Amino acid sequence: MSIVIHHNSACGTSRNVLEMIRAAGEEPIVIEYLTEGWTRAQLLALFAAADLTPRQALRTSKSPAEELGLLDENVSDEALLDAMLEHPVLVNRPIVCSPKGVKLCRPSEKVLPLLSGEIGAFTKEDGEIIK
């Protein structure tokens, strides 16, 4: 099984995770979810595998979540899923799938337990060094 990253190339965290995967000697399958979108089954499977609820996976900053009224705690999981299908940017990123598990990798270091190889010293885009 290959590593899969649900990636947004405009996101620094997502870019860092992609480069950390490559630094570990893997060439992942990159899914640009903003252009490809999601299916309900795909989101449900990813969230179940990562032990996330739709609310935990909701991107609240730099997304239309507030304007769509999704920050209210009374919004159901079904309504959140419907909104995520219509607006893929509402799903927080990156989500990485590997033989070792599935995780929402924010911060980017959360990808480390999913990798088979070592990344050595890695400098993130903001200058932070991961060892």
- Residues with catalytic annotation? 11
Enter the DSSP assignment of 54. H
- In the three-class reduction of DSSP (H, G, I as helix; E, B as strand; rest coil), residue 50 is classed as coil
Report how far residue 40's alpha carbon sits from residue 30's, in angstroms, rounded to the nearest whole number: 19
Largest alpha-carbon pair distance within the chain?
44
Phi/psi class of residue 105: alpha, beta or left (left: φ > 0; alpha: ψ in -120 to 50)? beta
Cis peptide before 64 (omega within 30 of 0): no
